[in-house]
Amino acid sequence: MLSIVVAVSENNVIGHANDLPWKLSGDLKRVKTLTMGHHLIMGRKTYESIGRPLPGRTTVIVTRQKRYAPEGCTVVHTFFDAIKVSWNDNEAFVFGGGEIFKEALPHCDKIYLTRVHTTIDGTVFFPELNMNEWEIMAEDRFPADEKNEFACTVFEMRRIQS
């Protein structure tokens, strides 16, 4: 199974200047639990914004740079190569950024989407979802608090099989 995990503002921003545009400690903990032990497929810029492989997960980086080889990561040069190296994982996660999400979206079975309840300036956007293709399986709301800058709603969505 191939899934997307993403936090998205009301205006579809997912990043700004190679960083997350918000602080959501609760969402980061949820994502860690969800992805632990699995493959994380991401673009080079997303990896560089994180700065290291995330513990307990296999980091798969998609880049056109032929000599790019950060320690502790698997580097591939196409999104489909990333799928191939993750084939034995019962759920691999597409982790960003915008171009990888755009390429992955038609091939994903599930989306774990955190809708961050704010409109914010950004430089990287999540592609528009056609909600006729997705069924909401679960929905949880979380308020803003001292560790979470904005209120958010977490959706688990499954592709509708036709």
Q: 3-state DSSP call for residue 80?
A: helix
- pTM, 2 dp: 0.94
The tally of domains found in the chain comes to 1
Please give the DSSP secondary-structure letter assigned to residue 145.
B
Alpha carbons 153 and 69: distance in angstroms, whole number: 36
Alpha carbons 41 and 123: distance in angstroms, whole number: 20
Q: Where are the alpha helices (DSSP H) in 86-162?
A: 98-104
Q: Which domain holds residue 86?
A: 2-159
Q: What is the pLDDT of residue 134?
A: 97
Phi and psi, residue 26, nearest 5°: -60, -40
pLDDT in tens, the chain (162 residues): 999 999 999 999 999 888 889 999 999 999 999 999 999 999 999 999 999 999 999 999 999 999 999 999 999 999 999 999 999 999 999 999 999 999 999 999 999 999 999 999 999 999 999 999 999 999 999 999 999 999 999 999 999 986
CATH number for the domain spanning 26: value is 3.40.430.10
Q: Identify the helix (H) or strand (E) that includes residue 94.
A: strand 92-96
